[in-house]
Every structure is written in structure tokens, then in C-alpha cells.
Structure 1
Amino acid sequence: MEQNVTLDGNTISPAEVMAVVNGKAIVELTEGAWNRIIHARGTIDEILDSNETVYGINTGFGSLVNTKIDPKQLQELQLNLIRSHATGLGEHMEKNAVRAMMVARINSFAKGFSGVHPNIVQQSIDFVNLQITPYVPRIGSLGASGDLAPLSHMALALIGEGKIVKDDGEISNTREVLTENGLIPIELHAKDGLSLINGTSQMLSYSILSLDILNNLLPIADVIYCASLDAYGGTMAPSDARVHDARPHPGQSTVARRVRQIMADSKIQQSNLDYKRVQDPYSFRCAPQVQGAVYEALLGMQSTVYIELNSTTDNPLVFPEAPSLQERVVSQGNFHGEVLALCADRMALALFELGSISERRMDQVLDANKSGLPPFLASNTGLESGFMIVQYSAGAALGELHGHSAPRTAFSTTTSAGQEDHVSMGATACWNLYQACQRISEVLACELLIASEAMTYSNLKSSSFVKSLIKLTRTIAPELDGDRSTSAEINQIATHLRDGSWLARIEAENGKLSR
């Protein structure tokens, strides 16, 4: 059953955006948000009536800031802006990313600082609620002056131009789709086009999609670590609370607490009280420190994305309460995506580290000299290769994660005749993170597959959390009975790790994991 997500410009969460994106909710604006939008629009109309020259309202754009436009040409100016800036490249954005981008834009308008015409907002809401998805080429934003090219393609659809991507992937004529849904193209008035395209909404959309995946992945990554730890016969002693009280980083403490929760009833750990190894390899012993640092990056990302989602990233901004018309419109730089870009770069680097420690644990388990298990877990050593190549594939995915770990913010370029002389490359960084989320889920799926098989050689039982996860794994990947291709199995497991379905199942059976 559909629910309403109410936008007020200040309190929407990424999870609520995802509910809309996934078709589980529709959006509406609060009365206060509508009043703010109307009030700010009144300021734009006052400026037009006064004939004062104000950037973004009756001037050119970028380096053409000092060119005043005839009042009779203001609508044409906005149309020209949208059409000329709709110059995207590459494949089109997936439906979920476009829908998240549109919800983010609407919530930005709801703060009442854009001066956009209410009809623009209503048309955007109708598109989201009717699940009309504009065709938006992915490449084109430099992450400063907003996501101009992608948002221009989105705006084209609102005015009846451009193309629409239907649910079945068919590319359709926009006007035909509008007619089918009882809508008509909207007219752009002064500042409307600029407000539609000048914002960080594409960067934000990929950040929200990534956050949705990572909120599912990181808790279950700790369960996978525990599965490997028990399969290897390692000790959870390094997760002792006293250790982490001595170095109380929030992420590290959370992961250690999760490990203690996950392993509470592990018979393997209970048998390890007289542990024979003095110290486990770092990939086991230092997991709370490494995976905790990754989790801490996620906590920072959660905060950054929430603030950005409830911000206005338009330019210029409209402040209707200021005493003079000139003071009511302020040119500034909220469109610059550096905060999202750096956040995405940090998170992508953190995911490489998570993949790196995961892949090292696979090696420890598969190496008979270290784990005491059959080489590569093959039941007929020599004749069969077992899971040898599972680690190879994980290593290949890790190689791609290494590429994703390179900071996209390390590059900038100058545009618009030097007026826009520093950019964030935030759209590239956030898309890069989204791709890294795919790769890390595959690496973790490989570790889970190996740990599940290794556990079959233990005479003791692991914990309830681990057993629940292995049981789910076995619905896709049965125990080895001779060599077989595991490619499809790994991809299916990775999907369940990303979408949160397996996390929900094991928490329903064993209790909510510590956050």
C-alpha cells in the first residue's frame, strides 16, 4: 500500500526518498512549503516589475552575467537555457537514480529559497507520483554550478520536450506520455529554468542509492567476517570490549560490539578459550579496526547526505524578508558539490579497504598450510580445484575497487570563459562510489561462499547469526560435490547482500544488529 512522504524542505531522510524511488510511497508538500514557494516567487515578480537588473532573473548566465535581457525575451531565455544545457553523453541514468534526483530537487524547492514558479514544483511532483521517468544521459556534470546537463534533460521532459523511459525500457515521446497521464507541458517563467538545473541533485541521487546499499552491506559484512573467523578457527578475543574502550573510535567500537553480539553463542569460540595460536593474522585480528574505520566513513556519509538532501543548492538564492529588492537575491556557491564529492571519494576508498581485508581472509581460509582445511576446499584435491578461482575473481573485483579508490576530486577544469574556474567532479565521484558498491558486494559474496563451505569441515557449531546466513547461502549455493561454476551463485548472493533482504532475514531470526 502506498504511503505519503511529506516534503517540507527540512526533514526528509534518504530512506524516505528510497521509499518513493521504489514505488512504495508518493510525495506531497506541506502547506508551509507551498506558502514559502509562493512567497519567494512573489519576490521574483516584484523584481521584474521594478525593472532592476538581477543575476539569474533578467540577465545572461555564467560569463554573460552582465548582459541584461529584454523582459519580452525572458521566457525565451529560460527555454534557450534548458535546450542548450541538455547536452549529456553516454548511457541514460537508471530509473531509480532519476527518480531520486527529482525528489531531491522538489525538496530543495520546498525550502522556499529558489523563487521557482509553483507550477514547476507541481509538475515535478506529478512526474514522481505517476512514475514518469525522463531520459537523462548520465555524463555531463562537472559537479559545480550544479548538475547542469543532467538536470536540463530532466527539465526538458517537464516542458514536453526530450524523451521518457518507460518501465519496460522503451524510449517514448514526451508529449505522448504527458497526454497519456493527463498532463500538459509547463511554461517556463523568469528564473524557472535556472532553478531547475542549478543544483547538486544528480550527485545526491547516486549518494542516496549508494547509502541505501551500504546501510545493508556493512552490518552483514561483519557477520561474514565472523563466519570466516569461525571457519578459520580464529579467536574473537581482539573484539574484547576493554580493547576498544582503550581506543574508543565510534566505528571501531560498533564493529567490535557487533562481533560480540554475533558470536555470543558460537560453540567454536567457546572452545577457543585455550587458544593455541598466539595471534591470528591481521585480516582477522584487526577487523574491528579496519571495518570500523569503514563504518565510520559511512556514519559521516549519512550525516552529509541528510544535510545536503535538506538544503537549497540553487543560485541565486531568494530571501523574501530582506528590506530591499537587491538584498533579497544573493549570488553564492551552494551549487558546488565539493562536500558530496569528498564524501564519495572517502567512502570509495574505504570500500577498497573493506574488499582488501575480505580478500585476505579468503586466502587464509583457502590455504591449507594456514587453515588446516583441504586446499581450496576441494573434496578431491588435485583432480578438483574447489574454490581456487573464487578468490581469483574476488581479486579481480578488488582490482576494480582499487581503481574506484582513486579520488575524482583530484581533477578540476575551468569552464565558462574562466568564470567557473574550479569544479568538484562530484557527479563523477558519486557515480564512481555507486559502482564501487556493486564491486564490494561481489567481493563479500565470494568471502561468504568460501566461509560457508569451510564451515562444513567444523565439528562444532558457529553462532546463530552465522548459521542463519549460511542457511540462506545454501539456498543458492549447495555444498561442493565436485567442481562447478559458481558465477551465477556469487552474483545472486551479492544481490541479496545489496538489497538488504538477507540482513532483514537474519535480524528477524536473531535480533537487530548493533548500529
Structure 2
Amino acid sequence: MSTDRSRSVGSPRARAAGGPPRASNPSRSCPRRVSTCGRPAIPCRSMELHCRWMEQFSGVARRSRGRAGLIDFVTYPEHGVHTCAVGRRVRSVVLIAPGRTDPPPGGSAVPDGSMRSSPAAGRPADREQSVDEIAITGTDLDIAGVFAVSRSVAGAVLADAGRANIEASWRFAIDEATRRPLYGRSTGVGANRTVPVTGDRTAHALDLLRSHATSAGAPRSADRVRAMLVIRLNQLAAGGSGAGPGLADGLVGMLRADALPVVREWGSIGTGDLSALATTALTLLGELPTVDGRTLPPVPFEGPDGLAFISSNAATLADAALGTTELLVLARACLGIAALTFAAVDGNAEAFAPAVRQATPFPGVGVVCASMRRLVGEGDARPPARIQDPFGLRALPQVMGPVLDALSGANAVLVRMINAPSENPVLLPPTDTAPGQVAHHGAFYASYLQSALDGLNLAVAQSGQLVMARLATLIEPAFTGLAPFLSDGTPGASGVMVCEYVAASALGELRAAAQPAGLQTVTLSRGVEEDASFASLAASATRRMAGPLRTLLAAELVAAVRAHRMRAASVTGPVGELLEVCAALPAATEDRDLTEDLRIAEELLPSIARLVPLTG
């Protein structure tokens, strides 16, 4: 049976031991190839689920039972956002590139709770359960698939089409190497590009991997490494590296056995993740141990495979994919918490009126306005207390809109780069319509990604300031009619005062992480490489921003819920549902340590996000 379609496979342990894959269940394949609105759909892969693509930006599209649990799909085609929330065990989110009209299959798995990474992040409670596998073709891997693999919700299998692409480029490279010099094959690398390689080229390639595996810092978490591996596998399957199929098969085996390389934090400057991928290659060759101390049997390796394998930004793309996905979860939670604050201070909903979309004609603004109208415009809405609110509420569309637009733009860049043969040199074999092509180039210089992530990071940092502004509104009696700092009324009581300080500390961290990586520069390798994109720094910052943003949102949530409880007003509709989700927050208002309250609030963020529609 062709491997181009997703299939159910045995447990990771059985596969690692060489056991045969479990047969496919035809009844689980996608029954449709065209959505109900007439737009083309693609076959389901990650968890072989399907959903209806709704016209006019409708909300929940379909519920379907999958292995990971109950899944809700929410779509917003114009803005390019597709979100998916999975059951109680995991939450998931998918971004779609602008203009794409087909929903990606399955969903990306984001763990419930705080969503923090750890060395074992994302492993299901029962690793012995069978998982689905994504067919890697080199053309259609999306962030949903990357996340599913990173969290061990799905594995990866090299599709027939992907293998054909690899083998065609491999044969073409062998032929071209007899006709002309090729960088890294017949020459050294970097400043050694003019030095011809003589003697045993396989030995030279091994020396190249050994030297380039040099790195420093703490080992990366398992989810980040898995994401890197599946992205690199897909790039190889795009068919431009000239590497042989042995390394690609080795990556598939690594993921199946969860035998991960020890990839350290530092070594990349946004011109190729050479250290991370050289370490991976040496692990595949049995020269370096896996994270858990295993030594893998060596995969087939030839001299040209050395540079061909490590010429990629796969580790940077992995960080960016994981970071942007989590930021979308938090962006949705931010809107839900802002709705709670709005209701607690009797805000003015004119800030979200349809006219605002015309006054600020950007897709993200339309999403925020429509979502906020659905959240605060239903139920027992009270008359507004002011002709216009402070910026924390009034400028919410103009600040959160850019966040959503930046997420969409970053996703578009990510999807293109994940599915591009970006190796240097690129070796594109001949096809029925085009001759073979060889090009030495600078596609490894990831400036598109760096620019997209820098813009996203700045937008997220700006949104953090509005969280602080809303928190300041909640502790002010002029807006709530309650005691200062939402205290219990005891003279001099602090209430949630220190939550504001904690939030300010987190905001400082958020701003520090948002410093543009594009301002960095460096000259290396005897002056031959006179600049760098530092996209790796931007991606690391994107991933790190989720931590302080969670703390900021948790502080606002603690204050907003306390304000509602102290007002003791009847609240129905979506805001009432949001309050019900927050029932786990302690109700006591006397002065006490609120550290546990903030922790609980952080754990509630995915549940709040699930109640927030992204509609336009």
C-alpha cells in the first residue's frame, strides 16, 4: 500500500523493535475532497479528521471524535486563521496562510495547562497507544503537522512522492558532480570554498559534521527537537538537497523510536542551523548518543550527504512554529479576559462597532471587533459608564488586530520555508517541463522569517502594555466602584496590589524579548560571510514571549474575576460562561499570598481561549 496516505501504526516501542505497522482502517479516511462551500479541501492527515469549511466566516465548524479527544474547529478564512481545540487532554491551534481556502487536517497539539516546555514536553500520558502518521511529501507540511509530531500526537512516514523527490535530486547531484564544482562536495565550506577536496570525500564529510557539531548551552526540549526533525525530513523530501535517502529514513526512524539527538541551545545565527543538524547527523551515524543514552545503528552515508543534510534552518523554523502557535492561544485568551474586564467596568462597546472596521481597515481589527461584539454584546449587558473608555479597552482592536495579522503573516512565511528545498547549493532534477538546475545561493539567509517574527514580537509586546492598562483600570475605584486594589475594604489593605507589580515585571521581560533581532549583525569565516539574519534569535524570542505574556494575562484574570465577584451582579451570556470557567480561582478577598491564584489563572488560559471565537 502506498505511504502517501496517513495510516495508523503500532506503538513506538513496537516500531522501534521493527514490528510491522498496523493496517489502515479505510473507514477512517476522509470521505470528502470538496468542502460544503465549494472550495477544494485536502485529504486528512494528522488525525484523519475532517471538518466543514464554513461560508461567511462561521464559528465552530464540526465536532469529531479523534484519538486525542473531542475536537472543535473554528475557522476564519479571510484572516487566515484555523483553530482547533482538542478535548480535555490537549488544546490545539493551526494557522493558515493568507488566501488559503482549504483547512489543514487534524490539529496541532498544545498541552493543557501552562503549556510550558520541558525535556519531556508533549509526551502523551500513555506512549504505548498507537498514533497516526503524517505522510511527508515535501510539499504540504503545515504547522498542524509540525505540532502534532512535536507532541507525539502523530508520527511521520516518508511518502512515495517524497522519496521519489529525494532520489531524483540525489541522482542528479551525482551526475552534476562529474560536470562542475559543487560547494561542499568538491570544495571546503565557508572561507575554504576555494579549497578543493581531495582524497576520501566521505571521510572529509564526516570531519565536516564533527567540526560543525560544536555547540553550547542547555539541551533543547524534546518537543523542539521533534519539530526540527520533521521539518528537516520534509525539506529533504522537497527534492533539492542532493542527499541520499538514508538520512531521510534515519529521521523517520528517530521519530518513530523517539530516539532524539542532544541538540544544544546556541550555535545558530540565522544562516543555517549547522550545529543542531550536524549533531543530528552524527547521532544518526552512531557517533553521538541520543538523549536517553542509546547508540543508533549507522544509516547509509556518503560524502556528499554531509553539507547537504546540515544546510537548513530547520531548528529555527521549529522554534518559530511552536512559538507562534502558543501565541495564538494566548491571543484568544487575551480577548476573553479583556471581555471580563470590559464587563467589570461597564465598558462602552462602541469601540468594537462595525464602523471601527472601516475606520481601521485591516483584517485583524475586524476579527477583534467581531469577536468582542459576540463576547460582550450578548446577555445582560449594562449601559456604558463612559462616553469612551481608557485605551486598554478602547484601543483593543488596534493593538490586538496587529497581533493576529502578524501571526498570520509569520505563518505564511513558515509554511513556505518548511516546504522549500533551501539547501545550498540547490540541486533541482529535471522534470517533464523543466531542465535540471543547480544554483549556489543565499536562501539560508532567513531574513523573511526574521522580519516576520520581529514584527510579531513587537506587536505582542505592545499588547502587553494594554494588559497593564486594563489591570490599572480594575484596581481603580473610579471605574469599578469597589475598594482600591479590589481589597476587602479593610483600611490600608493591599488586595491585588502586588499583582500589578508582578505583571509589570513580566512586561519588562516581554519588552526585552521583543528587541528586533534584525538589528544584529556579525562578520565570520575570514570575512566571507559578512552578515547574518539572526532569525534564530527572533524565533527563540517568539517562543520565550509566551511565558511573561501568560503571567500578564493571569494577573488581569485574577483581578477581573475578583471584581465580578465583589460586584455580585448577575452575568449571563459569553461573559457568564467565561466566569464559570474561572470557578477554580479562590474567592477569599482578605490580604494573602496570591501566587497560587496566578498559577491557577495561567492554567485556565487554554480553557478561556477555547471560548473565544475568531470570526470576522
TM-score, scaled to structure 2: 0.76
2:378 matched residue in structure 1: 265
2:522 matched residue in structure 1: 413
1:369-388: CA deviation from partner (whole Å, max 9, x where unpaired): 34322111111333531111
**Structure 1 residues not aligned, in runs of 5+:** 167-171, 179-183
Residue 514 (str. 1) matches residue 615 (str. 2): yes
1:486 matched residue in structure 2: 594
Residue 120 (str. 1) matches residue 226 (str. 2): no
Write out aligned runs for 1:10-409 (5 A).
Answer: 10-48=139-177, 50=178, 52-70=180-198, 72-144=199-271, 146-166=272-292, 172=293, 174-175=294-295, 178=296, 184-267=297-380, 269=381, 271-272=382-383, 275-321=384-430, 328-382=437-491, 384-409=493-518
Q: Secondary structure at the match of 1:27?
A: strand
- What is the rounded CA distance, in whole Å, between the counterparts of 1:491 and 1:160 in structure 2? 42
Cα 1:154–1:253 change in 2 (3 A) is: same
- Could you tell me the percent identity over the aligned residues? 27
- What is the rounded CA distance, in whole Å, between the counterparts of 2:200 and 2:389 in structure 1? 73
1:452-474: CA deviation from partner (whole Å, max 9, x where unpaired): 11111335334533223322222
2:558 matched residue in structure 1: 449
Following superposition, the deviation at residue 64 of structure 1 comes to 1.0
2:86 matched residue in structure 1: none
Following superposition, the deviation at residue 55 of structure 1 comes to 1.6
1:181 matched residue in structure 2: none
1:156-190: CA deviation from partner (whole Å, max 9, x where unpaired): 21111223224xxxxx2x41xx3xxxxx1124313
Contact kept, 8 Å, 2:324 with 2:542, in 1: the verdict is no
Cα 1:87–1:217 change in 2 (3 A) is: same
Following superposition, the deviation at residue 37 of structure 1 comes to 0.7
- What is the rounded CA distance, in whole Å, between the counterparts of 1:303 and 1:412 in structure 2? 25
Q: Secondary structure at the match of 1:143?
A: coil
Q: Secondary structure at the match of 1:28?
A: strand
Counterpart of 2:163, as a letter, is: W
- What is the rounded CA distance, in whole Å, between the counterparts of 2:607 and 2:274 in structure 1? 36
Following superposition, the deviation at residue 211 of structure 1 comes to 1.7
Counterpart of 1:13, as a letter, is: D
Following superposition, the deviation at residue 328 of structure 1 comes to 3.6
- What is the rounded CA distance, in whole Å, between the counterparts of 2:597 and 2:313 in structure 1? 37
Following superposition, the deviation at residue 412 of structure 1 comes to 0.7
Q: CA RMSD in A?
A: 2.0
Question: What is the aligned residue count?
Answer: 485
> Counting helix residues as a fraction of each chain, which structure ranks higher?
1
Following superposition, the deviation at residue 276 of structure 1 comes to 4.3
1:402-431: CA deviation from partner (whole Å, max 9, x where unpaired): 111211110110111111111011111110
Q: Secondary structure at the match of 2:246?
A: helix
Deviates more, 1:310-319 or 1:107-116: 310-319
**Structure 2 residues not aligned, in runs of 5+:** 1-66, 68-130
Cα 1:502–1:243 change in 2 (3 A) is: closer
Following superposition, the deviation at residue 265 of structure 1 comes to 1.8
Write out aligned runs for 1:466-485 (5 A).
Answer: 466-475=575-584, 477-485=585-593
Counterpart of 1:279, as a letter, is: Q
- What is the rounded CA distance, in whole Å, between the counterparts of 1:5 and 1:426 in structure 2? 27
